[in-house]
Amino acid sequence: MASKRAGDIMIPIEDYPHVPHTLSIRRTAVVMEKSYIEVEGRRSLPRALLVVDDECNPIGCVRRRDILRGIEPQFLKTASVPERKRLFEIEIDPNLVDMLSGRMGKAIQEQSKRPVTDIMQPIKATVEHDDHLAKVVFKMVSLDLNLLLVLKDSQVVGVIRSVGIFREIVSQLYLTE
């Protein structure tokens, strides 16, 4: 890996999609659905949105799967796995699914009113603007993360996504052939 640093491949913090900590899960889902990130002329959907406090400082992130887990109806969370599966076995009674979908829809709507802070993931690690990509890769892999905040002079200045790291490494591998 050449001498690239975290700051060389980060997405500037002002360009990364984010939501306020007071937003509901429902509104967060809408923002996520409409958000995209453009890097070097390529558009991609974010795997996660940053959650920010009142001063716009990142306090966490929310992934698509966090939203999906967050809207799971309470009555399903308390059921055992076999009970959950049985609820969706259409062969039992096709009308049962219609009945459940009404109940399910209401329960999902109710869960989606909760604040995004109920489901967000805390910021687990950061990297420094001057950190070598090898250190960034190590942190991502060892902590099983796909998003890291980049700090410069103790201020958040950007975000590095695993897809950005991957592209950089692939381009370096390609250059060495």
Which one-letter DSSP state was computed for residue 66?
H
Structure pTM?
0.82
On whether the CB atoms of residues 19 and 62 are closer than 8 A, the answer is: yes
Sheet of 147-152, strand order:
11-12, 155-161, 147-152, 126-128
- C-alpha separations of 140 from 14, 91, 135, 146 in Å: 22, 44, 9, 6
Q: How many CB atoms lie within 10 A of CB 106?
A: 11
Given this model, what pLDDT does residue 73 score? 81
Q: Give the chain's mean pLDDT.
A: 88
Q: What is the mean pLDDT of residues 14-42?
A: 94
**Nearest-10 crossing angle of helices 133-143, 162-175:** 130
For 77-100, what is each residue's pLDDT tens digit?
A: 777 777 767 666 656 555 555 555
Residue with tokens 């805390």: 122
Whether residue 45 is predicted with pLDDT greater than 80 in this model: the reply is yes
**Angle at Cα 149 formed by Cα 146 and Cα 154, nearest 5°?**
160
**Strand pairing report for 42-44 and 37-39:** antiparallel
Residue with tokens 């599966």: 85
Distance of CA 20 to the CA centre of its chain: 14
Given this model, what pLDDT does residue 173 score? 83
**Angle at Cα 101 formed by Cα 35 and Cα 90, nearest 5°?**
115
Q: Which tokens go with 13? A: 């913090």
Phi/psi at 51 (5° precision): -110, 125
Break the chain into its structural domains and give their ranges. 6-68+115-175, 72-111
CATH code of 6-68+115-175, in short, is 3.10.580.10
